[in-house]
Amino acid sequence: MLLSKSRRFLVAAGAAVALTATALPAAANDIPPVDTVVTSPNVQHVLNVPKPAPIAATINTDIAFQGNYAYVGNYGGFSIYDISNPKRTKVVSSVVCPGAQMDVSVYGDLLFAAVDSSRNNDSCSSTGQSATIKESWEGVRIFDVSDKANPKYIKSVETNCGSHTLTLVPGKGHDRRRNLYVYVSSYLPAANFPDCAPPHDKISIIKVPLRDPTAAAVAATPVVFPDGGNETQPGLLVPTSGCHDITAYAEKDIAAGACMGDGVLFDIRDRLNPKVTARTTDPNFAFWHSATFTNDARKVVFTDELGGGGAATCNEATGPTRGANAYYDIRRGKLQFRSYFKIPRHQADSENCVAHNGSLIPVKGKDIMVQAWYQGGVSFVDFTDISRPREFGYFERGPASQGGGGIWSAYYYNGYIYAADFHNGLDVLKVNDPLVRGADRVRTDRLNVQTQQSYPDWGWDH
């Protein structure tokens, strides 16, 4: 039986209410009140910035960072935040451009947004339209964000089955200055979808000429599963028909694919021709959702989106391994399973809770991660001992007054954690723990979590 860690309640005004500091079995009276913020003692809730009015009615999704700005996707568009002073994070602008999920990545003056809902055209004034209609559009939108106050929509690229997520992959060598590649993950084909017919089992690769991004176009559609993916395993959310998300570690020429019923490793030395080098399945997994490499790329963490994000899976009935992260060593190019981890804090049966998007926290000699769990909040995990990952801090709210909700993505960037909440906007957190000592001295100029890059050694103590 899982035990719930003691909780410290922080009300909106910032006052603390003392609770008994003993571990008790998770029970109804251990669930925080509706919408109430709860943290472990080593996590500080620095600030909450509500969603801007133009997109307040739709939910927040993924986050990208560059310089002093955070870019937050939203089903209704995206917003740009000034984070030059994290304690005074503020909205610079919002772009209304509906189309799920609007996951975002940024590179120089370009922002890329994924659209996986069929639209009647590619414009920001489009409306939903059935994918059975040939003229429907879904794919990738490209914006010029050089003027943060006035982003401009400059290009759309249609892709087969849309773009559920996307991954930026810089070119190699001299090509790095000329081209950027976008790996587009999509799935769920149907025989009556003209632009998304089975078998799909592939990704789309968009080539973006950096000097002329309006010339961006699909350059390749490599098949990941030529013999079909995992389709018959009992308990799958849906059979494999493509990939949900890909994390590329471009400087090491590798990528990890979370592909519905399969976990895969790619060799991406040839950017337009990625090759599958390892593949695994797990009878415990329902839906391979996302992947994170360690800084040395000797380990990889895969997440399982049990219940598709809409179910209460962080409770005693579901148990400690279903809907968990799975941790793998990478040995001689193959995946070797080591352990599972799931948040040890039971959530109410009304709370949708699932392993979702997170990032590394740069600590030399350790493998530390922060991760979103929808209504399970934000979890801080030490998996240096890959056989025994453990949570050492958390942030969450009590059951959402709207019913469903929670934290979609939580990422560490230059000393702070930024968490995109469905309904509550952008949360800024600070973790104060000996395990992360030195991390705040590591600085990077850009963070797209699906495009991993190694942290510079000069940021660490020697």
Contacts of 232 (CB under 8 A, 6+ apart): 239
Domain ranges of the chain: 3-459
Q: What is the average pLDDT across 16-45?
A: 67
Inter-residue contact 431 to 417 (CB < 8 Å) = yes
Inter-residue contact 325 to 389 (CB < 8 Å) = yes
List pLDDT tens digits, range 362-415.
999 999 999 999 999 999 999 999 999 999 999 999 999 999 999 999 999 999
Fold (topology level) of 3-459: Methylamine Dehydrogenase; Chain H (2.130.10)
Is it the case that residue 11 has pLDDT exceeding 60? no
Q: Which residue has the tokens 């209304």?
A: 96
Q: What is the pLDDT of residue 432?
A: 97
List pLDDT tens digits, range 93-123.
999 999 999 999 999 999 999 999 999 999 9
The tokens describing 388, both together, are 């025994």
DSSP structural state of residue 292: E
Q: Parallel, antiparallel, or unpaired: how do β-strands 139-144 and 110-115 relate? A: antiparallel
Is it the case that residue 27 has pLDDT exceeding 50? no
Q: What is the pLDDT of residue 1?
A: 27
Query: What percentage of residues in the chain have a pLDDT greater than 90?
Result: 92
SS (H, E, C) 64-126: EEECCEEEEEECCEEEEEECCCHHHCEEEEEEECCCCEEEEEEECCEEEEEECCCECCCCCCC
Confidence of residue 18 (pLDDT cuts 50, 70, 90): very low
Q: What is the pLDDT of residue 459?
A: 52
Confidence of residue 30 (pLDDT cuts 50, 70, 90): confident
End-to-end CA gap in the chain:
42
The tokens describing 345, both together, are 């804090």
Is it the case that residue 2 has pLDDT exceeding 70? no
Q: What is the pLDDT of residue 296?
A: 95
Q: What is the average pLDDT across 146-151?
A: 98
Query: What percentage of residues in the chain have a pLDDT greater than 70?
Result: 92
Is it the case that residue 22 has pLDDT exceeding 90? no
